[in-house]
Structures are given as C-alpha cells and as structure tokens.
Amino acid sequence: MRINNFKDLKIWRLALLITKEIYDLSSKKEFGRDFGLRDQIRRAIVSVSSNIVEGFEKNNNNEFIRYLKIAKGSIGEVRNQLEVAHVVGYITKEELGKTDEKLLDLAAQIGGFIKYLEAKRRK
C-alpha cells in the first residue's frame, strides 16, 4: 500500500490520540497550574506528530528517517516528564502506567517503521 498523505500513517494517528491524553492529564488541577511542566510536556508531545509530518513531507526517505528518530526522542522526553508529574503527585501511578504503555507502543512502531525505511533504502 502506498501512503500518499501523512494522515494515512498509523503512527501519526496514534500520536494524535496520545496527544489528546497528555493534554487531558496536564489539564488536571495541580498539573494545570504548573505552567512550566505543563507547557514543556505539551510541546514535547506535539513535537512527535509534527516531526512525523515534517519528515513525511520532505519526500526523501533519509530525511523521513531523521525526523522519525527525532519524534522517537520526543517520546522519551514525554515519558520522563510523565515520571516527573507522577513523582510530584500530579498524576496517579495508573495514569502514568497507561500512558507510558501507549508511548512505548508508539516508540516501537516508529522504530519498526524506521527499520523498514532503512531496509528499503539499502535495496
């Protein structure tokens, strides 16, 4: 299947779903009032889908791979910020676990896609 639009990318759609979850979590009481952490985690999660799109729109597999790696790095940043939010009591252990699991799944899917693109590039 040829993907002609970034909206066809499963990883982009999943990143958007997780973005909504992060926005919901970071709107909760104390978390919502911690403007620094709230804004930082929101910028990081938006960066994931934005880098997927930016790389796709370059129409160059090398650039796409580079941007996918940046998106994957942003996932790590969000995971760390969620840990901080948990440690300071902004989110529950359950909220952390549920969201972290989705982020790990997204990171694995992006990693798999990177491997696919790298193998395609070698052919």
CATH of the domain at 108: 1.20.1440.60
Tell me if 84 is assigned to some domain. Answer: yes
Interval 7-13 mean pLDDT: 96
**96-100 own/partner pairs: CB under 8 Å, 24+ apart:** 99/18, 99/21, 99/22, 99/25
Cα angle: 75, vertex 119, 48; to 5 degrees? 15
Q: Which residue in this structure is represented by tokens 């995971």?
A: 79
pLDDT at residue 96, rounded to an integer: 98
Could you list the residue range(s) of the whole structural domain that residue 32 is in? 6-122
Residues 96/83, Cβ–Cβ less than 8 Å: yes
Write out pLDDT tens, residues 43-89. Answer: 999 999 999 999 999 999 999 999 999 999 999 999 999 999 999 99
> Residue 89 has what DSSP assignment?
T
d(CA 20, CA 43): 12
Tell me if 19 is assigned to some domain. Answer: yes
How many domains is the chain built from? Answer: 1
Q: Which residue in this structure is represented by tokens 């790990």?
A: 104
Tell me if 1 is assigned to some domain. Answer: no
What is the percent of the chain where pLDDT is above 90?
93
- Per-residue pLDDT at 1 exceeds 70: no
CB atoms within 10 A of CB 105: 12
Q: Which residue in this structure is represented by tokens 């958007």?
A: 16
